[in-house]
Amino acid sequence: MKKRVLLKRVVALSISVILSISIVGAQVPQNIIFMIGDGMGLNHIYAAMTANHGKLNIERCSHIGFSKTYSANDYITDSAAGGTALACGVKTKNGMVGMSPDSTKLSSTLTRSGRIGKSTGIVVTSSVTHATPADFIANQDNRKKEEEIALDFMKSPIDVFIGGGLKFFKERKDGKDLTKELEKKGFRVATTMEEVKNVKRGKLAGLVAQEALPKANEGRGDMLSEATQKAIELLDKNKKGFFLMIEGSQIDWGSHANDASYTLAEMLDFDKTVGIVLDYAQKQGNTLVIITADHETGGLTIKDGDLKKGDVEVRFETIKHTGTLVPIFSFGPKAEEFIGIQENIDIPKKIIKMWNLEK
């Protein structure tokens, strides 16, 4: 008799546990913060972890998966096609920005989020018109068309963007000063990080360098984490939520240069920003964080290391991108959707589904 009652209780308890787990699983995040380490492979992460005495913020993510990065026309993707896959959910040809291989204009998760009333933002350490951020904003057949990409910002629903690239808005062949147009559209245009930090509300165009920002180990300071903090502060005011893309743009550049200290400085700078994002997501409670890469760069290998001393010896196999799987780390509601091995295009497709962003 007693046994049966106990059994019933156990069954009832486990049903309620299952129910509460499925309710948590069904929760749709209010905000999504999508972080891209350009060129960041698994070895980049462990090299940085070793340099940081065996610990990184990225380890706080609860779920891990992998993505296949090949593009529509090449086993080795470039950042334009890799970013288009991550932004729009379509594999395209290398060099193309927010366009399918047949030059059909695509609509990114950022653009679609803006359409349903979410606030949207971008924070990068390259020019904001560089391939990766451009994939979330623009539709161009060639990533080199940075002045055309700047024009595409005028049509985007974006609320906050912080990075470099002022010259593509101001010193243009067509003579237009797009910063004036941005002001007409209600943006505060800030050209220094001090000005960025002073903006307390509303739309912000932070164009804090002519082109790219300096290297992390050559005077960029905490620009990426400070800009991220500001973007979150501004976007968080929308009760409907927000979509924010953050890129560690120069991990790729350090790796193309086969420069270990440049690469590691960029990795640690990116991870510091990961920490800020995860602190916010943990406190806010309804924010999905996805951290991934568009491809690996440099074929970075780890030859030796010392976790106590924080020493790491790395080698590069190539000055180009490689074809290896890249990791996906996720945290927050729906984080479990991103585990396993998937196509890069599956990541935005899952976002589109969970937020009902189909056109």
Binding stretches for Zn ion (CB under 5 A)? 252
In single-letter form, the type of residue at position 262 comes to: Y
Binding mask 31-70 for Mg ion (x = CB under 5 A): -------x--------------------------------
Binding mask 171-210 for Mg ion (x = CB under 5 A): ----------------------------------------
Q: Is position 120 an interface residue for Mg ion (rule: CB under 5 A)?
A: no
- b/e burial code for range 174-184 (CB count within 10 A of at least 16 → b): eeeebbeebee
Residue 218: exposed, middle, or buried by beta-carbon count in 10 A (0-12, 13-18, 19+)?
exposed
Residue nearer to Zn ion on the CB measure, 135 or 252: 252
Report CA 350 to chain centroid distance, whole Å.
Answer: 15
By a kind-dependent CB cut-off of 5 to 8 A, residue 135 interacts, out of Mg ion, Zn ion, none, with none
CB of 248 to Mg ion, least distance (A): 9
Q: Is position 71 an interface residue for Mg ion (rule: CB under 5 A)?
A: no
Q: Is position 79 an interface residue for Mg ion (rule: CB under 5 A)?
A: yes
Q: Is position 296 an interface residue for Mg ion (rule: CB under 5 A)?
A: no
3-state secondary structure of 219: coil
In single-letter form, the type of residue at position 61 comes to: C
* Helix, strand counts (H, E) of the chain: 13, 14
By a kind-dependent CB cut-off of 5 to 8 A, residue 263 interacts, out of Mg ion, Zn ion, none, with none
Nearest to 98 by CA among 61, 158, 149, 38: 149
Is 119 annotated in the active site? no
Give, as one character, the DSSP assignment of residue 330: E
Residue pair 29/333 in contact by the 8 Å Cβ criterion: yes
- Total residue count of the chain as it appears in this document: 359
Per 3-state DSSP, what percentage of the chain is helix, strand, and coil (rounded to 5)? 40, 20, 35
Residue pair 357/109 in contact by the 8 Å Cβ criterion: yes
CB of 40 to Zn ion, least distance (A): 11
By a kind-dependent CB cut-off of 5 to 8 A, residue 330 interacts, out of Mg ion, Zn ion, none, with none
Residue nearer to Mg ion on the CB measure, 38 or 148: 38
CB of 140 to Mg ion, least distance (A): 15
Q: Which two tokens stand for residue 225?
A: 């984490």
In single-letter form, the type of residue at position 295 comes to: H
CB of 149 to Zn ion, least distance (A): 17
Judged by CB under 5 A, which of 84, 129, 249, 330 binds Mg ion? 249
Residue nearer to Mg ion on the CB measure, 80 or 199: 80
CB of 146 to Zn ion, least distance (A): 16
Judged by CB under 5 A, which of 50, 125, 127, 132 binds Mg ion? 132
By a kind-dependent CB cut-off of 5 to 8 A, residue 132 interacts, out of Mg ion, Zn ion, none, with Mg ion
By a kind-dependent CB cut-off of 5 to 8 A, residue 249 interacts, out of Mg ion, Zn ion, none, with Mg ion
What's the CA gap between 63 and 340, in Å, rounded? 9
Q: Where are the alpha helices (DSSP H) in the chain?
A: 2-26, 42-51, 79-88, 109-115, 131-137, 146-155, 166-170, 178-184, 193-198, 223-235, 251-256, 260-284, 346-354
80-109: which residues touch Mg ion (CB under 5 A)? none
Residue nearer to Zn ion on the CB measure, 252 or 266: 252
Query: Which is the catalytic residue, given 79, 225, 255, 330?
Result: 79
What's the CA gap between 211 and 213, in Å, rounded? 7
Residue nearer to Mg ion on the CB measure, 71 or 249: 249
Task: Using the rule CB under 5 A, give the single segment among 91-99, 101-109, 246-254, 272-280 that binds Mg ion.
Answer: 246-254
By a kind-dependent CB cut-off of 5 to 8 A, residue 127 interacts, out of Mg ion, Zn ion, none, with none
Residue nearer to Zn ion on the CB measure, 224 or 351: 224
Nearest to 332 by CA among 122, 59, 32: 32
For Mg ion, the binding residues (CB under 5 A) are 38, 79, 132, 249
Active-site residues, by number, are: 79
